[in-house]
Amino acid sequence: MRASKKKVISQKPAIRKVVFIISFKHSGSTLLGFLLGANKDCFNLGEFTKAKERQKTLSKKCLVCDNYCKLWAAFKRNLKTTTKRHLYEAAFETFKKPILIDTSRKWAWVKSASSRINCESKIIFLTRNERDRLSFHQRFGDGITRAIVERQARGVTRTKRWLKNRKYLQVKYENVCNKNALKRCCKFIGIEYDEKMFRYWETLQHALEGNSRTASLMKKWHNLSIGNPTALKFIEEHGLKVKAIKSKEKWTKKEKKVFTKYGGANANKLLGYKEDGLAKKKPVMEKLVKKKPISYKKHMKRVFKVAHRIKINKQAKKIAKTKKECEKYVKMIRKQ
Ligand SMILES: [Zn+2]
């Protein structure tokens, strides 16, 4: 009896937690997910928001399985057993790990998800230099335009605003391959740091969705076929290595100006990146975000005011002969 009691105490399960990675596109959230997912206590879900969006096709593919994924098929079955069960509950039951890593990125998803889970949650805010992120648009032929810069900058301000009164750990993508940064993440989550995490490809991680190029390193190590030609090229260029990629794209003078003028530089500063060429004028980004929509009543008041002014001006033009007389008339009526 005594022996069995001792056994129970030593096998005390680790505390359940969900780790959310909040980030932006092209910031390395898939990579950080894999690094953390290589820990023995963690399961990397990938972009778990997709579990809600594509419930019917869940078992069809994950980042390492192309036609059928056993794990996600089991998850789908678990999800069906009780209709009211929350996604994370089913994930804990299926993947049997105390810590789940969710790389869905968007704060709105984290907001709604964290209010429904009944366990502890942690937020890691992964950022990347906005210039490098924008270089992706340039590479794919969109170029760096005002609309793109403004959209990105708005995303940064909104996310920062949501995070303002919350506890989170910011990690820069540029430091992801740094041991200390990963150690800080582990300490924050409450897991043991393991050197093995830097060789994430050795653990086959069935993350639901994310960057297929980052996942292809696992496919390569486990001798699975890599169909995607861009992923093949990526492995050829970088090999099995954890590396923060710096953009080599060169910007034109005009693009640099657009970036500074429309809030890109300010967004970078907000994220803690060095920026010298900040816009002198009040940035457009701030104006756009701060501008609150006016009420319908206020809007109609403005419309009537303008209409009234036009009416007076028309009247004045009819009555008055000279410009001076006309101005006098308008002033007089307005005073009444
Ligand atoms: Zn799979």
Question: What was the pLDDT predicted at 5?
Answer: 45
User: How many domains, in total, are found in the chain?
Assistant: 2
Mean pLDDT check: name the lowest of 35-39, 144-148, 158-162, 224-228: 224-228
For residue 278, the model assigns a pLDDT of 59
Number of H helices, E strands in the chain: 16, 5
Supply the CATH number for residue 218's domain.
3.40.50
Does some domain include residue 303?
yes
Q: Is residue 200 part of a domain?
A: yes
pLDDT at res. 163: 95
More confident residue, 139 or 194: 194
Output the CA 58–ligand 1 centroid distance in Å. 10
Mark whether 26 and 170 lie in a shared domain. yes
234 and 308 in a single domain? The answer is no
Residue pair 21/124 in contact by the 8 Å Cβ criterion? yes
Phi, psi dihedral angles at 243 (to 5 degrees) = -145, 135
What percent of the chain is modeled with pLDDT above 70?
90
Q: Which of 214, 238, 262 finishes a domain?
A: 238
Higher pLDDT, 324 or 12: 324
> Which residue segment(s) compose the domain that 39 sits in?
11-148+162-238
Structure-model confidence comparison of residues 66 and 155, the more confident one: 155
The DSSP string of 60-120 is G--SS-SS--HHHHHHHHHHHHSTT--HHHHHHHHH--SEEEEEEE-HHHHHHHHTT-SSE
The pLDDT value given to residue 300: 83
Residue 333 has pLDDT above 90, yes or no: no
Predicted local confidence at residue 58, as pLDDT: 83
- Asked, for residue 247, whether it belongs to a domain, the answer is no
Q: Is the pLDDT of residue 173 over 60?
A: yes
> Cα of 62 to ligand 1 centre, how many Å?
5
| Domain end point (choices 198, 218, 238) | 238
- Please give the distance, rounded to the nearest whole angstrom, from the Cα atom of residue 34 to the centre of ligand 1: 14
pLDDT mean over 149-162: 95
pLDDT of residue 323: 78
> Which of 131 and 280 is assigned the larger pLDDT?
131
Residue 236 Cα to ligand 1 midpoint, Å, equals: 24
The rounded percent of the chain whose pLDDT value lies above 90 is 47
Q: Which two tokens stand for residue 162?
A: 């949501």
Question: Which pLDDT score is estimated for 56?
Answer: 78
User: What is the reported pTM?
Assistant: 0.77
Would you say residue 120 lies in a domain?
Answer: yes
pLDDT number for residue 57 = 83
Q: Give the mean model confidence (pLDDT) for residues 127-150.
A: 86
Look at residue 281 and tell me whether its pLDDT is greater than 90: no
**Ligand 1 center from residue 198 Cα (angstroms):** 21
| Residues 309, 180 within the same domain | no
331 or 69, greater pLDDT = 69
Residue 83 — pLDDT band, cuts 50, 70, 90? low
| pLDDT tens column, 95-133 | 999 999 999 999 999 999 988 888 999 999 999 999 999
**CA 19 vs CA 43, 243, 260: distances in Å:** 10, 23, 34
Centroid of ligand 1 to alpha carbon of 220 (angstroms): 15
CA of 103 to the centre of ligand 1 (A): 16
Look at residues 238, 265, 287 and tell me which one is the last residue of a structural domain: 238
Ligand 1 geometric centre to CA of 144 (Å): 36
Please indicate whether residue 8 or residue 32 has the higher confidence score (pLDDT): 32
Give domain status of residue 5, yes or no: no
